[in-house]
């Protein structure tokens, strides 16, 4: 098979298209022919060394395709089944080994590209609004990078709940996407200071929750727009990791709550993973949740996909296809 290989941490240029031995599924594993693989910031963090992983490695955690073979001890899956995963390793490849406990069935009505395009970010958006801060109708939220992969899904889910959604985007071109997804107010950060713009819409200290996947560039200002005992949900580092913060700072801003969630802790069991994945994929199948593909490239062009993602010029999901 061919796969993208990273031998040392670095920029996108360290990814090479290489011929490697076909993997063999071991106990509890599936061998999957990858039809589409999702590109996510965690792939960038691992490639760059921000999140250290053993090298050499094949990037990618998210993919969808068909089961070719099952290893010993696997129950519930058979060759020919359509599956997706957001927790595998090495999905930037023609073939990937996927632990069966991390695989979910792909229902009829959802394509492999949709499944790979929505699973990791859809699971993330789902737990953010249902568990991390259970958003309710009438509450007010800020969604940063509202035209990004997670952002567009977050906006749709928050709008479906009945919350008032304030979305920040980096350019006027992205504003229409966030608005169509259901954002009530759009702030273009290249044209205005977003914190002041939020206050102009909502008033001072009037936001119930900020969902922030940007990180360093937005974190400090997030604290200013929240209501007393509001929630700051910092779930990503697109602009870099957040600087350390003293707990007293949260008190000074109104006894705020701060959390840094991770997907693995919200899909910690097979039952939880499959229930959450079924909820997300069913919304895609019935047309309630739209998957916006911002870029679609061959797997061998993963370096270009990473450059696009890191430039923050993309909207929606960046996808690699076999």
The percent of residues above 70 in pLDDT, for the chain, comes to 100
Looking at the fold, whether 166 and 111 belong to one and the same domain comes out as no
Q: Give the pLDDT confidence score for residue 206 in this predicted structure.
A: 96
Looking at the fold, whether 107 and 145 belong to one and the same domain comes out as no
Looking at the fold, whether 187 and 256 belong to one and the same domain comes out as yes
pLDDT tens digits, one per residue of 145-173:
999 889 999 999 999 999 999 999 999 98
The answer to whether position 130 is within a domain reads no
Rounded CA Rg of the chain: 20
Q: Where are the alpha helices (DSSP H) in 182-267?
A: 194-202, 216-225, 247-252
Strand 15-19 versus strand 140-143 pairing type:
unpaired
Q: Give the pLDDT confidence score for residue 270 in this predicted structure.
A: 96
> Which residues, 6 or more positions from 129, have their beta carbon under 8 angstroms from its beta carbon?
135, 154, 157, 158, 161
Rounded Cα distance between 185 and 179, Å, is 8
The answer to whether position 151 is within a domain reads yes
CB-based burial label for 123 (10 Å; 0-12, 13-18, 19+)? buried
pLDDT tens digits, one per residue of 242-301:
999 999 999 999 999 999 999 999 999 999 999 999 999 999 999 999 998 889 999 999
Q: What is the pTM of this model?
A: 0.89
Looking at the fold, whether 40 and 72 belong to one and the same domain comes out as yes
Domain count of the chain?
Answer: 2
Rounded mean pLDDT of the chain?
Answer: 95
Q: At 314, is the pLDDT very low, low, confident or very high (cuts 50, 70, 90)?
A: confident
Picking from 260, 292, 312, the residue at the C-terminal end of a domain is 260
Looking at the fold, whether 276 and 251 belong to one and the same domain comes out as no
- What is the CATH classification number for the domain harbouring 74? 3.90.180.10
Total residues belonging to the chain? 322
Rounded Cα distance between 9 and 222, Å, is 32
Domain hosting 242: range is 137-260
pLDDT tens digits, one per residue of 126-140:
999 999 999 999 999
- What is the CATH classification number for the domain harbouring 199? 3.40.50.720
Rounded Cα distance between 95 and 24, Å, is 10
Which DSSP string do the residues of 39-56 spell out, in sequence order? E-HHHHHHHHTSS---SS
pLDDT tens digits, one per residue of 70-122:
999 999 999 999 999 999 999 999 999 999 999 999 999 999 999 999 999 99
> Which residues, 6 or more positions from 184, have their beta carbon under 8 angstroms from its beta carbon?
159, 164, 165, 166
Looking at the fold, whether 177 and 221 belong to one and the same domain comes out as yes
pLDDT above 90 (res 237):
no
> How many CB atoms are closer than 10 A to CB 78?
11
Q: Give the pLDDT confidence score for residue 297 in this predicted structure.
A: 96
The answer to whether position 131 is within a domain reads no
Q: Give the pLDDT confidence score for residue 269 in this predicted structure.
A: 96
Handedness of CA 241, 247, 251, 255 (dihedral sign): positive
Q: Give the pLDDT confidence score for residue 293 in this predicted structure.
A: 87
Q: Tell the residue number behind the tokens 């993309």, with chain if given.
A: 314
> Which residues, 6 or more positions from 242, have their beta carbon under 8 angstroms from its beta carbon?
215, 216, 219, 234
Q: Which letter does DSSP use for residue 62 in this model?
A: E
Looking at the fold, whether 252 and 277 belong to one and the same domain comes out as no
pLDDT above 90 (res 57):
yes
What average pLDDT score do residues 24-32 get? Answer: 97
The answer to whether position 217 is within a domain reads yes
From the list 115, 106, 91, the residue with the least C-alpha distance to 4 is 91
């Amino acid at each position: 098979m061919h796969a993208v290989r990273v031998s040392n941490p670095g920029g996108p240029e360290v990814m090479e298209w290489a011929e490697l031995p076909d993997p063999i599924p071991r106990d509890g594993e599936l061998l999957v022919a990858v039809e589409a693989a999702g590109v996510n910031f965690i792939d960038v963090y691992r490639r760059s060394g921000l999140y250290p992983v053993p090298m050499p490695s094949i990037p990618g955690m998210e993919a969808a395709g068909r089961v070719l073979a099952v290893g010993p001890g696997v129950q519930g899956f058979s060759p020919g089944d359509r599956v997706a995963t957001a927790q595998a390793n090495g999905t930037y490849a023609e073939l990937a080994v996927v632990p069966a406990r991390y695989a979910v069935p792909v229902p009829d009505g959802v394509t492999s590209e949709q499944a790979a395009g929505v699973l990791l970010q859809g699971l993330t958006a789902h737990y953010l609004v249902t568990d991390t801060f259970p958003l309710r109708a009438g509450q007010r939220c800020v969604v940063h990078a509202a035209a990004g992969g997670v952002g567009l899904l977050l906006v749709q889910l928050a709008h479906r709940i009945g919350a008032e959604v304030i979305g920040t985007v980096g350019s006027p071109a992205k504003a229409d996407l966030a608005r169509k997804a259901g954002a009530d107010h759009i702030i273009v950060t290249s044209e205005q200071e977003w914190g002041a713009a939020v206050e102009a819409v909502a008033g001072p200290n009037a936001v119930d929750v900020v969902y922030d996947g940007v990180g360093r560039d937005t974190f400090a200002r997030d604290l200013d727009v929240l209501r007393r005992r509001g929630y700051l949900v910092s779930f990503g580092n697109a602009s870099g990791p957040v600087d350390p913060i003293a707990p007293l700072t949260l008190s000074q801003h109104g006894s705020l709550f701060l959390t840094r969630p991770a997907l693995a802790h919200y899909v910690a069991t097979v039952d939880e993973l499959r229930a959450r994945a079924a909820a997300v994929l069913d919304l895609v199948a019935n047309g309630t949740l739209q998957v916006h593909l911002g870029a679609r490239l061959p797997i061998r062009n993963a370096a270009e996909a990473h450059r696009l993602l890191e430039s923050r010029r993309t909207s929606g999901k960046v996808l690699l296809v076999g």
